[in-house]
Structure 1
Amino acid sequence: MKTVNGHEIISLFESWSPTSLAVEGDPVGLEVGQLNRKISNVLVTLDTTEEVIEEAIAKNCNLIISHHPLFYRPIQSIRTDSFQGKVIEKLIKNDITLYTAHTNLDVAQGGVNDLLAEALDLESIELLEVTDEDNYRKLAVFVPSDFAQKVREALASAGAGKIDDYDSCSFSTVGEGRFQPLKGAEPFIGAVGKLETVEEVKIEVIFPRSLTSAVLNALHASHPYEVPAYDLLELLTPVTKNGIGRIGVLSEKMTLEQFSLFVKKKLSVPFVRVVGNLSTEIHKVAVLGGDGNKYIRKAKRMGADVLVTGDMYFHIAQDAERMGLSIVDPGHHIESIMKQGVSTKMNSMMKERGWNVHFIASEISTEPFRLF
């Protein structure tokens, strides 16, 4: 099994959930620590608290992937007698890196909202609201023949060359590369001041524009040259649409009362808040993890009978009721479905590549509400 560093793990993670999918201004990515270190175990959590860090220490995890950011806005100071300060101090003292995937994980295919839609057994699932249309790019890179396979594998691991139900797709041509290193260069092949001719392979792969950062990082990490030569081209290929929330249909219609109990059971929550006539027939369902107050009108326009979402405000709930849209609010914490979902997906990707890294779903509940 291969040991890998944080850069490789996050590059692979971002091939699935790139930061470019996040809504504008959302604080995603590396929050505390560094990625240039070997990673043994990764803890996946909804929130990062002192208790979660203790769990990471106990389970020998030196990387935490959290859904909710530790910092929603810039901080002016780090006081270790505050919640954020204590968390930062604990992370640094225990050499644990914190990385956040927030709305990019909501939007990503197979992310939070897809996990919720699948948990509710929805069929014919579509995007609730399109947030991004992703065109394709083509990378053409020139590599010494002996290193071509290594570069191909690295690009594939970053998500390049995936076309429908096929991955690792690429095209190669063999030719000669010529270059002359100048004073100050540190050439991998050849000598300063001497024109060099090398047998090289031109590798061509396509990938969604959103993966550009991950693909180029993989290229630079795997390519032997000090300065790789490559072309990056925009393609007029049909776009891939990404979006927030999901909408689908139930295999069998239910009343709102039956559906509310169904949601409670499927999402393993102690209660749900319900808006609407309990005898209303439910067939088409919109679902959005977290706070979905802004999406009641979109859900109604898309033909939803009910919107499943958290943090519903009083007056927004009244608006939904007046427009004939039922609401089932199981709470914000249903996003914790991502802990097992991300762990399962990433462990599968680790196994495929023979990487000696284990993703562990946090067992700590960060739900702040209690019922009496």
Structure 2
Amino acid sequence: MDFQRLAIQYKTELLGNVVPFWLNKSQDKEYGGYFSCLDKAGKVFDTDKFVWLQAREVWLFSMLYNRVEQKPEWLECARQGGEFLKKYGHDGFGNWYFSLTTDGKPLIQPYNIFSYTFAAMAFAQLGLATGNDEYTSLARQTYDRILERQDNPKGRYNKAVPGTRNLKNFALPMIMCNLNLEMEHLLGKEFVEESAVTLIDEVMNVFYRPEYGLIVENVNQNGSFSDTFDGRLVNPGHAIEAMWFIMDLAERLDRRDVIDQAQTIILQTLEHGWDKKFGGIFYFMDAKNHPPQQLEWDMKLWWVHLETLIALLKGYHLTGSEENLHWFEKVHDYTWKHFKDTESPEWFGYLNRRGEVTHSLKGGKWKGCFHVPRGLFQCWQTLEKMTWRQ
């Protein structure tokens, strides 16, 4: 496999196509922040602003400025989005709304913990890029609010009746694996490495169910398996994305055993989640192969496939598994064939089971400036490391 050619392919797509799309099409020059609802050509079709997508774009352009090149236009894009979020994104008490009007009025209450996680990530990177203590302070305050809410992430917006079926969800410990590394310059090396031990244990020994060879989305509070719709729910993309977070932590801790386990879980999840009839990775599945309850279960989503490409490359780089290269080639071919728009910039996000585009939008309520550029960046960086080794 020609790693150098692939590295150039991912880098060129990132810097020549995807980043200019968001830089030129998404910025709100009147009120600040970003429009995420963009059609096939990048035209705005709705002006609501979703806080976690605003934060993700602040993070993305700050990260590019910090790790790729100190381009003034990237920093200004991140800074103006950060200023909009700082002013309108929270209630003044560290609670981050879910969505806002175009001019910053709150629309939906702060029920979603991921508005908090991505705000913390955004302001940590923006503070690093600018040296502005106000941004780093906001990142620290938000991180503290996440820790306060981690046992009940939805707080008073939780619809479950207490005491009947108390489940804990995979998404927060998963995202904390990545968030801690992103904020290490604020949290400190010792804190990150100590918390990594706890997070690795929870992901690999609680949410991973060896009896099925799969990571489930929900478990009982005591860590046991819940034989219910929610307890059997498998999101292959989540599981695989988490494994490259885990490998990043395990590499820091020099835990070869954890790297090998993560590598095994990636391959097990792909074997279970790959659509053997039409290709691509299913969105939702049931651990016991009962009928999934999500009507969109068999759709193919952009982020699932991009996160899988990252994980397969990192797994190969760390373990040398030839099976990773086999799977990478298969997922790479499917992803570039079906999600990349050959007529307009940026990528499609949603396909039906047969691989046909169902939504021609390039951004919306859930898809923004994040998974495509981050995926391209991570693949490019790992492929360059593999090129040097080769």
Q: Same fold (TM over 0.5)?
A: no
Name the structure with the higher helix share. Answer: 2
Name the structure with the higher strand share. Answer: 1
Q: TM-score scaled to structure 2, two decimals? A: 0.23
Q: TM-score scaled to structure 1, two decimals? A: 0.24
